[in-house]
Amino acid sequence: MTGEGRARFERIYALLRSRICLLDYPPGVRLREEDLAKEFETSRTPIRRVLARLEDEGYLRSVHGVGTIVTDIDIASLEQVYRLRVELSELIGKLSPVTPDEEAADLFGAMRARCEALAKSPNQRAFAQLNMDFFHLLMTLTENEPLQEFSERLYYQTTRIWLKTAAGLDGYEDTLASEIDFFLREVSDIATAVACGALETVGQIRRAHVAMSFARLKARARGDALPEDS
Amino acid sequence: MTGEGRARFERIYALLRSRICLLDYPPGVRLREEDLAKEFETSRTPIRRVLARLEDEGYLRSVHGVGTIVTDIDIASLEQVYRLRVELSELIGKLSPVTPDEEAADLFGAMRARCEALAKSPNQRAFAQLNMDFFHLLMTLTENEPLQEFSERLYYQTTRIWLKTAAGLDGYEDTLASEIDFFLREVSDIATAVACGALETVGQIRRAHVAMSFARLKARARGDALPEDS
DNA sequence: GATGGAGTAGTTGTACACAAGGTTGCGAAT
DNA sequence: ATTCGCAACCTTGTGTACAACTACTCCATC
Range in A3-7, A153-157, B96-100 the model is least confident about: A3-7
Name all protein residues with C-beta less than 7 A from any atom of nucleic acid chain C: A 1-2, 5, 8, 42-46, 49, 63-66; B 2-4, 30-34, 44-45, 48, 62-68
Q: In which band, very low, low, confident or very high, does the pLDDT at A230 lie, cut at 50, 70 and 90?
A: very low
A193 and A113 both lie in a single domain = yes
Does the structure show a pLDDT above 70 at B226? no
Range in A112-116, A217-221, B89-93, B199-203 the model is least confident about: A217-221
| The total number of structural domains that make up chain A | 2
Distance CA A52, CA B45 (A): 12
Q: In which band, very low, low, confident or very high, does the pLDDT at A67 lie, cut at 50, 70 and 90?
A: very high
A228 falls within a domain? no
* CB spacing of A1 vs B55 below 8 angstroms: yes
A102 and A214 both lie in a single domain = yes
A128 falls within a domain? yes
Nucleotide whose C1' lies closest to the alpha carbon of residue A51: D12
> A56, A94, A96: which to substitute to probe chain B, counting the most B Cβ within 10 Å?
A56
Q: Which of B5, B64, B154 shows the shortest C-beta gap to A2? A: B64
> Which of A16, A37, A70 corresponds to the end of one domain?
A70
A46 and A140 both lie in a single domain = no
Q: What is the pLDDT of residue B192?
A: 97
B24 and B119 both lie in a single domain = no
For A143-172, the DSSP string reads --HHHHHHHHHHHHHHHHHHHHHHTTTTS-
Quote the domain boundaries for residue A134. Answer: 75-222
Does the structure show a pLDDT above 80 at B126? yes
For chain A, give the mean pLDDT.
Answer: 93
Does the structure show a pLDDT above 90 at A96? no
